[in-house]
Structure formats: C-alpha cells, structure tokens
Chain A
Amino acid sequence: MNGPAGSQALQVTGARKKYGVTEALRGVDLTLHRGEWLALLGPNGAGKTTLIRAIAGRVRLDAGAITLLGEPLDAAGGSGARAKLGVVPQDLALYPKLTARENLEVFGSLLGLAGTTLRERVRWGLDFTALAERAAERVEGFSGGMKRRLNIAAGVLHRPEVVLLDEPTVGVDPQSRQRIYEMLEGLRESGASLLMTTHQLDEVESLSGRIVIVDHGLVIADGSVPELIAKTLGGGRVVTARLHGPLQAAAAAALGGEAGAGTLSTRLQDLGAELPVWLSRVASGGGRIAELTVEAPSLHAVFLHLTGRELRE
C-alpha cells in the first residue's frame, strides 16, 4: 500500500461543501502521490463520500480546489483530466441482465474506448477479474465477490492514472476480499494511484499504507499506521497480565495500570527496560500472573482515540 513519494497525482485543497446547515466538508486538504495507495477512513457522516464524489465530479464544492495530475478538476469541467480518473462506486453499478462481457463492453464504450482497444481491454478486464470463463453469463447470477470484481474492472478499463474506490470490499467474504486486494495491488503496480475508502481497519493496517482519517468534514490524521500510532498513542507496547485472583485496587493504582476483570494492563515505552520492573511490582503487589500478552497499539485504538467513535457509527 506504500507508494513511492513523488509528484502529486491528486491534490485537494481547502475543500468545503455545505448541504443546508450541515457542513459536510470544512476545508479538507489531501494529497495522493503517484503510485500510492491511500486509505481514507472516517465514521459514517464524516465527509468521506462527499469528498470522493467531489473528486469524481458528482459534487460541486462551495470552496477549494481539486487538481488531478496538475490539471484543475471541478464538477463543471476538467473533462480532459477526468479521463485519467477511474471511479469504482460502492454500489454494484452493473447491469444485471447483461453478461460480464457485455457490462465491460458497455462501460468501456462509455469511457471512450472503441474498436480493437475496447476488445482488448474487455479481454483484459475478464482476465483481471478471473471471470473469463464466465464472460457469457449474466451478472445477476454471479456471487457478491464476482460482482465486486467486475465492478472494479468496469471502472478501470480505460487505464486511469488515479482510481477512486468507495468501499470496494464491502459485503464480500474474506477470500474474495483478498482477491480484490490482489487486484488493487496489481493496479498500483501498473502505475495507478489509488484512493480508497474502507471500513476494514484490520486489513488497512496489514497492508501498511498511508492513511487519512476524516471526521466532521476535516482531515484529523494523515500518515502510515506507525506514524499515526506514534502521533496519537505514542510508541511502546500495551502489556496485559491475566491474574490468578483480583488485585487490590490500591495496588493496581500504585502500579499505574488499568485494572479489568482479572486483568491488569499498562503501556510501556521501552519494553526491554520497563517490563521486568513492572512484573516485579505486580508480584510485590500480590498479583500472580497466569498469562502475559504484549501488543502494539492498533489502528482501531488510534481511530477510537481520534474520533471517539467506532468506524461504523
């Protein structure tokens, strides 16, 4: 998910959008570098979709600017630059009565492809989605994962340099999700820059990309997972001890940790130096440790720390 730092593929500056009295975007600044895979996170209603739709030309900003590969992009114009943009909506925006091949032909044609190029790209799309053998089947009979894959292919047939993906893995099983991530990685390797919204925190974390967290119409954090953790929760590790029997509250407080039901946990910045000391204090406080776990702070913890809300709230 990490992209090489380089020239900007997409830049959003001071984006503002108001619906009635509700401010969906309150001055969003965001940069997507060439070849980068950027995850956009935020609770529901944070402004992610408005931002994606503004970049896709479906929302007119009240203020601010969007540039794609250095060219200005707005809802009214920017048609030349917009051809370099691929959009994969969250909905399965396919025609169910059409076959996989027909869907790709239709959307490829609408994206400006024709003749041999269109045929080649349709073939590529069927290979890309591993649906070549089912090319002649109607989409309505496909599984959710197959439809998702086709949905992605339909948005990138014209070889866009920047691809917007709104929840590309929503509603699919883990295997299909993995297949989709492989497809997206393939796109990135071929030179495309990806901007993706998602609710799959664990997978975003494992893919180790740059993450932008949006809340209340503002970017509230921007960086890789370790950077975000360092900026918000600090470094170190969370140590949790499961105890044989409860520890006295006073003793727990003296240890400087958080006491749960039969557990005690603390955050240690220098694990090597501080852990032996902490264990010794637990023992001297009367605690008998049954099990000990050491964890790095998670993106989930960062998210909760920053927004005070779960991702799906």
Chain B
Amino acid sequence: MAGEVTLVDLVKRFGDVAAVDGINLEMPSGEFFSMLGPSGCGKTTTLRMIAGFEQPTEGRILLDGNDMAYTPPHKRNVNTVFQSYALFPHLNVADNVAFGLKRQKVGKHEIRERVAETLELVQLTGFERRKPAQMSGGQQQRVALARALVLKPSVLLLDEPLGALDAKLRKALQIELKALQQQVGITFIYVTHDQEEALTMSDRIAVMADGKVEQVAPPREVYEEPSTVFVADFLGVSNLMDAEAVGGANICRLQLGDFELDATQGKTDARGPVQVTIRPERVHLEPQESTGQNHIPGMVERLVYLGNSVQVIVHLAIGTTIQALVQNVGTEIPWKQGTAVQAHLPADALRVLEDTGAALAPLDEGAVPA
C-alpha cells in the first residue's frame, strides 16, 4: 500500500537559524504519526516541507521511495489540513470540497458523487450550499478534512487542526479523527504541541526539540520510558532531580545528597552526574515515621485540588521540590501544609536519564501555537 514517507537527513535553514536540523524519520504506510514539540521545535517546518511549501536546505523527502523534495506542492500526492483551515471563503462547502477534483479534471458526475460521499464521511451531508463563514469552527474543520480526503491522498498532513477549537470539541474530534484514519487507512502525519492529543491518537510519536528528534516511539513508551530529559519533561509533569550514579548495573545506585536510592529504569549503567525522573503519580507519600529503601523525608509545601486528584508539592530534605499526585478516592488526604512526610520513590519508577541539553519546555501547558 502506498503512503510511506521517509525523511533523510532533512535540514531547513532560515538564514543562520536551523529550523530543522537533520531529521531522519520513517513513517510507514497507514500509520497515525505525530510530531510533538513546543513552538519553534521545527515540527511545522518539517510538515511544510513534506507538503512542498518549503524547500529543504539539505536532505531528502521520499514518498514511496521517490524523492519529492523539489516537486512543487501541486504535483504531490499529499494533502494538508491547515491550522486555520484555509477554506476558500468565496466558495460554498461543495465547491470547496470539489476544488481539488476539478483540478484533476474529474468528470462532473463523479465529482458530485465523491463530494457527497466525503461529506457523508465527515457527517456534513446537507451543508453543501453553506459558505464557510456560516459554519462553526468544528464544522469548518470537517470541511477542511473532507476537502483533503476527497482526493484520496496517500498521505494526509494535519497542522494542529484542532488548535482553534474549544477543549470539549477537541476531545470529541480527537476520537473521531482516529476512527476516520482507521476507516480510510491512509498515513496521517499530525503536528501538535498538545501532548494529550498526540498520546490519544497516535500510533507513534516523534518528540521534537530545537529542530531535532528526541525520541520516536509509541505513546505508552514515550510517556513511560522517555529516553531524554526533554521528553520526560515535555510529556506530562516530571520530577527531575540531579543525582550521582555511583554503581550497579541492572540496579543503578544513586546518590542524592545524603540519601542513597536505587533505580531500575532508564540508563542504569550510567556513571557520574545524571538526572533522575519520576512521574508525580508514582510518588508515594507516607507518614513521617515510615522507613525503608528509597525513602526521602520532606515537608508538604502546598496542596492543589485538581478535581480527580490532589497535587501535593513536597519540599525534600535534599533541597529539591517534587510533585506527588494523590488520586481522589473520596476520603480526605491526611497531609496539610507543613506536614512532615516520607516520600517513597519506588526503584521501578525512578528513571535514569541522559541530558541532551535540549531546552526544557515551560511547565504550563498553555496553547502555544507553533
């Protein structure tokens, strides 16, 4: 089946700035592939190069084995769903969807059939005569999808297509998009800065930073087994701590201040200064008097009520502050501001990471357009 995209040593420079700095990616046919990263990481530029709106400075873009890096966009068998939708405001929905078919000189009868078919696919039957401006954001988004899908491209490129929608609609459309992709079976290359979006829909995710790919893996692996500090920090909240790896092989012995901890995840064979990370939901808070391996005493600094859970910010005796997530199970949690606790960081939740030096993402997950 067609629709395999391969990027080979892809570089794009604007002046002195390398927006994309040597990317190698393979996106097999029929995959839902996401490029995830903060704004300025090069994900949109990469997508625009695949679409043909930008020419790479170096490298190759292969579609089913053929280099198309210098093919103009109107001759590529890929279609794009734009962040702003870019629906032609002077054409109604049917004419918008038919635009590409007319360029391919498809017969009138077939155009009508395929437009109707595609509008049904995106559940917009009956909207043929509407102008884009007379539709809601979610409906416009579907028109944009239909306009691209009607051409039966081998690859569909999506540039933050849900970015302009409100949270609830976005969630609903995430599920729909994934279902649609499985239905049509073509390669989706999806660009987003929203980790939840990427985790929900993708078969595989490429986490990008500073024009480079940090990690390519299925959603569960990028989240559970981040290979770099950047990935750990960008996906969800991670507690990052400086440590000294002092020994061990399968179990890495770590020195954090005056405390010795074991870690069984990540680069356990590392030596010297490393970073360790643990997800907030894996941190167990125990009463002050409890003891055991991988326990560090601390003091509750702040409690943040999040609805389904409570975020507890704990200042550890080693000087760093970590977050713990306590599920809301209906009982009041015993910790208050100022309570002395023991933070249990289980060895199988502690991950030793190498630091690639990529700029860490800001902690807030606000909508930052790329």
Judge: A and B partners, yes or no: no
- On A, residues with C-beta under 8 Å from B are none
- On B, residues with C-beta under 8 Å from A are none
